[in-house]
Amino acid sequence: MTTPSTSTAHTAGQRHVICMKWGTKYGPEYVNRLYAMVKRHLTLDFQMVCLTDDSKGITSEVRCLPIPPLDLPPGSPERGWTKLVTFAEDLHGLRGTALFLDVDVVIVGSLDGFFEQPGRFLIIKDYDRFWNPGRITGNSSVYRFELGAHPDVLTHFRQNFDSIRQRFRNEQSYLSDYMNQQGLLAYWPKAWCPSFKYNCIPAWPTNFWTEPFIPQDARVVIFHGECNPPDALAGRRNRRFRFIQPATWVAEHWHE
CATH topology of domain 15-192: Spore Coat Polysaccharide Biosynthesis Protein SpsA; Chain A (3.90.550)
* E strand or H helix at 98: strand 97-101
Each domain of the chain, given as residue ranges in start order, spans 15-192, 196-253
- Looking at residue 11, what is its pLDDT? 41
**pLDDT tens track for 185-209:** 999 999 999 999 999 999 999 999 9
Q: From the DSSP assignment, how many helices (H) and strands (E) are in the chain?
A: 7, 9
- Looking at residue 12, what is its pLDDT? 46
- Looking at residue 131, what is its pLDDT? 55
How many angstroms separate the CA atoms of 126 and 173, rounded? Answer: 10
**pLDDT tens track for 5-53:** 333 333 447 999 999 999 999 999 999 999 999 999 999 999 999 999 9
How many angstroms separate the CA atoms of 38 and 112, rounded? Answer: 10
**pTM of whole model > 0.85?**
yes
> What stretches in the chain show pLDDT beneath 70?
1-12, 75-79, 128-133, 239-241
The dihedral formed by the CA atoms of 75, 77, 79 and 83, expressed in degrees to the nearest 10: -100
- Looking at residue 256, what is its pLDDT? 95
- Looking at residue 237, what is its pLDDT? 81
